[in-house]
């Protein structure tokens, strides 16, 4: 029988695979039908995910996937930077079995990218950071990173990241290569640069720029493509749109 932990894990996996977009409504009834369980179990899973910052609830919309603000996006990347570079800085020599596990993960990433499986490659690219934390011997921080990675995946969808998935995989390969040589200083620097590049690829406007939407709309026509795409973007707390219709998750999870 399914547990609330199983339900929460499936939702996290769907977020990492970019199958649940920011703002997606998570109806208790639909989820209970999908998982063939009581609404009580579903609600318990959603409460746990709310505490982890993945979903939220309102009296008007019910449960839905969070839509991080600009400031929350900056904080999430800042937290990941501190955790991941700190883990690498404190690591010692790595066993061959650990390096083998990391290289197997990299091979899975590369295979998914070659097969153009966007959902699987997105999941694996995010899961690399969780896998690395587990390999470095800190399960508590690995669990924390899973939540932060899910949040930054939502942020990438919400703010239309332009970061290249192939480049992310190459960054991961370089980090593992440095660790295999025992060069933790280089590995730490590469991780810092990698997270910084992912963050820099977001279309985050300065927090004090109230004219960002109008500025993009009135840009020269040859530069207006990004603005046109922005019109279809999921709403943010600063730019709300009508609540989305409830999505049946059978095709997503």
Instruction: Using the 3D structure, point to which of 48, 67, 86 is the last residue of a domain.
Output: 67
Q: How far apart are CA 79 and CA 62, in angstroms?
A: 28
176-218 pLDDT per residue, tens = 999 999 999 999 999 999 999 999 999 876 555 556 556 666 7
Whether pLDDT at 247 is above 50: no
Tens digit of each residue's pLDDT (9 = 90 or more) over 75-111: 999 999 999 999 999 988 889 999 999 999 999 999 9
Question: Pick from 97, 99, 71, 89: which is nearest to 206 by CA?
Answer: 71
In percent, how much of the chain has pLDDT > 70?
82
CATH number for the domain harbouring residue 45: 1.10.10.10
- Residue 153's nearest CA partner among 213, 66, 83, 245 is 66
Quick check: 179 and 88 in contact, CB under 8 A?
yes
Residue 35 CA to residue 236 CA, distance in Å, equals 29
Count structural domains, the chain: 2
User: For tokens 């063939």, what's the residue?
Assistant: 36
Are both 35 and 134 inside the same structural domain? Answer: no
Question: In 168-194, which positions are buried (b, 16+ CB within 10 angstroms) versus exposed (e)?
Answer: bbebbbbbbbbbeeeebebbbebbeeb
Residue 237: phi and psi, rounded to 5, are -60, -30
pLDDT at 29 over 50: yes
Residue 247 lies in a domain: no
């Amino acid at each position: 029988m399914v547990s609330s932990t199983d339900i929460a894990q499936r939702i996290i996996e769907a977020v990492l695979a970019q199958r649940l977009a920011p703002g997606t409504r998570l109806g208790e009834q639909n989820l209970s039908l999908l998982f063939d369980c009581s609404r009580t179990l579903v609600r318990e899973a959603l409460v746990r995910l709310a505490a982890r910052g993945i979903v939220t609830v309102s009296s008007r919309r019910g449960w839905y996937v969070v839509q991080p603000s600009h400031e929350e996006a900056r904080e999430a990347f800042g937290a990941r930077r501190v955790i991941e570079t700190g883990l690498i800085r404190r690591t010692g020599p790595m066993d061959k079995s650990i390096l083998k596990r990391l290289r197997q993960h990299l091979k899975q990433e590369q295979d998914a990218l070659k097969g153009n499986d966007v959902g699987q490659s997105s999941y694996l690219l995010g899961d690399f950071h969780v896998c690395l934390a587990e390999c470095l011997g800190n399960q508590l921080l690995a669990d924390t990173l899973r939540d932060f990675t899910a949040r930054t995946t939502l942020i990438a969808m919400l703010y239309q990241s332009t970061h290249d998935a192939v480049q992310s995989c190459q960054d991961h390969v370089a980090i593992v290569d440095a660790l295999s040589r025992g060069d933790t200083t280089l590995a730490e620097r590469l991780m810092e640069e990698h997270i910084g590049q992912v963050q820099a690829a977001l279309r985050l406007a300065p927090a004090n720029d109230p004219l960002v939407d109008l500025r993009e709309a009135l840009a020269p026509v040859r530069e207006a493509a990004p603005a046109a795409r922005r019109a279809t973007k999921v709403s943010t707390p600063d730019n709300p749109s009508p609540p989305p219709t409830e999505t049946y998750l059978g095709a997503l999870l």
